[in-house]
Amino acid sequence: MAGKQVKTFNCPACGGVVSLLAAGHSVTAICTHCSTLIDTANENYRIILKNRQSVRETDIPMGAKGVLGGIKWEAIGYVEKKDISGEYFWEEYLLFNPYYGFRFLVQGDDHWSLARIIKRDVPVTLFDNTIIFDGQQFDVFYRSTATVDYVKGEFYWRIRKGDQDKYADYIAPPRMLSMEMNQQEITLSMSEYLLPEEIEQAFGVSLPPRRGIAPNQPPPFSGVRHKIWAVAVCTLLVAFVVHLGSSGRQEVVNTTIFHVMPDNSSKSFSTGVFFLPKRTNVEVHGSATPLQNNWVDLDLTLVSDTSNNAYEASQSLEYYYGQEDGEYWSEGNTERETYFESVEPGNYRLVVEPAPGQLGPDGMNVMLAVTRNVRAWSNFWAAVLLIFAFPVYTSLYRRYFEYKRWENSDYAPNSKGNDSDD
């Protein structure tokens, strides 16, 4: 049996035809022609209030249908509310489906949430700072009084401009538990954050971009934050194993001792030719003896015999010691390592130009050991930085986000950013 079409009646004020989309439920309707508030609880259609308000356009027109969460809803009512402080404004659309009942679509600062009244006896008062609901903790965000500023469409309760309700909002993003209290009753409702795109898609409308951060807006990387860290740690482990495994066995390819004589102290020396079969990192371990309260600078050049490749580095060896106030002290070291990274394969010699401090009559011995397949830890640490840059960024950004969120609340907790509530 097909139900009747939408119920209509004539406005008792202007005579215009008014449709009732939720007949039997709606007790208040606003004439679409003259904005008169009409009592629709029974078929007498009494005038409650003649209105001189102009009709306002809404993002979602009355009578528009859209699917949210797999259920088709029709927008049948619209309320604009303002906080008594005059600082906050928001809109509530009343959605109806003859089988699923009613929902509320709430919009503030162009952020949207879908809300539903909770039919459960939850022992709460407006003064609670936290509410445990379904095992989840909700923290108070706002507490104030709301005033109805504008109404349009039809409603299953008595409503008119100027109606006031005390209210409190409690958040556990993306959910928000709202409490409204008037003389008769406390009403609890649960809302869930929606992306504007979901509303746009559902109702075929286009909406302005969101402003600021909504009380129940999910934090960035919500739900994936722990995964991001897990991926980073796994990547690090892989990088570590690869790093250990990639460079093969270390091998000393040349050891040479030079004698630096006082009469010819800056004469350059060359090692014998050694072969680097693969691209590699090369370590030059230098040491000097004797080196007592003295120094020597070594300019090192790795010169290819087979190509024009040349790699330069310098190494300073210095060692000082003494006795002061009965204590022995020393500074520097007689040996040191220098690295050449990513050296091309080929035959090489190491050319050394020494610049010693003072030389005794016997000069100084400089010993150089050249090793290939040396692991370059600097590469590894660079990789670590790279791997963790994003997770660290996500965590910092999230802290900042929570800080900005709670800026809008008088009840900001101290350490919200640390909560891991994914």
Partner 1 sequence: MKKYDCPSCGAEVVFMSNLSVYAVCKYCSSMVVRHDMDVESIGKMAALPDDMSPFQIGTQGYYQGTNFSLVGRMKIGWQDGSWNEWFMATDDGRRGWLAEAQGFYAVCFETDPPPVDFAHKAIADQKNPGKFVGSTLVLANQKLRVVDSKKATCIGSEGELPFAAPQGRVTVSVDLLGPRGEFGCVEIETGKQRAFIGRYVEWKELRCSNIRQFDGW
Q: Which is nearer to partner 1, 187 or 309 (CB)?
A: 187
Q: Is 7 in the site for partner 1 (CB under 8 A)?
A: yes
- Contact residue for partner 1 among 88, 90, 101, 346 (CB under 8 A): 101
CA separation for the pair 349, 302 (Å, rounded): 6
Taking CB under 8 A as the criterion, which residues in 124-163 touch partner 1?
156-158
Which residue type, as a one-letter code, is found at position 162? G
Shortest Å, Cβ 31 to partner 1: 19
Q: Is 2 in the site for partner 1 (CB under 8 A)?
A: yes
Shortest Å, Cβ 202 to partner 1: 16
Which phi and psi angles does 402 have, rounded to 5°? -65, -40
Alpha helices in 145-257 (DSSP H): 196-203, 225-246
* Whether the Cβ atoms of residue 311 and residue 302 lie closer than 8 Å to each other: yes
Q: Which is nearer to partner 1, 7 or 82 (CB)?
A: 7
> In Å, what is the CA distance from 272 to each residue of 64, 255, 258?
88, 9, 12
Q: Is 46 in the site for partner 1 (CB under 8 A)?
A: no
CA separation for the pair 260, 240 (Å, rounded): 42
Q: Is 99 in the site for partner 1 (CB under 8 A)?
A: yes
CA separation for the pair 249, 89 (Å, rounded): 70
Q: Which is nearer to partner 1, 23 or 273 (CB)?
A: 23
CA separation for the pair 417, 403 (Å, rounded): 7
Binding mask 171-200 for partner 1 (x = CB under 8 A): -------------xx---------------
Applying CB under 8 A, the site for partner 1 has a residue count of 35
Tokens representing residue 132 in the block = 């445990």
Q: Which is nearer to partner 1, 1 or 52 (CB)?
A: 1
Shortest Å, Cβ 203 to partner 1: 15
Q: Which is nearer to partner 1, 46 or 259 (CB)?
A: 46
Q: Is 23 in the site for partner 1 (CB under 8 A)?
A: yes
Tokens representing residue 352 in the block = 């050394």
Shortest Å, Cβ 99 to partner 1: 5
CA separation for the pair 7, 111 (Å, rounded): 33
Instruction: Classify residue 264 by its DSSP letter.
Output: G
Q: Which is nearer to partner 1, 86 or 123 (CB)?
A: 123
Size (the chain), residues? 422
Tokens representing residue 335 in the block = 């040996």
Cis omega before residue 220 (within 30°)? no
Q: Is 204 in the site for partner 1 (CB under 8 A)?
A: no
Q: Is 49 in the site for partner 1 (CB under 8 A)?
A: no
Residues that bind partner 1 (CB under 8 A): 1-7, 22-25, 27, 41-43, 65, 72, 96-102, 117, 119-123, 156-158, 184-185
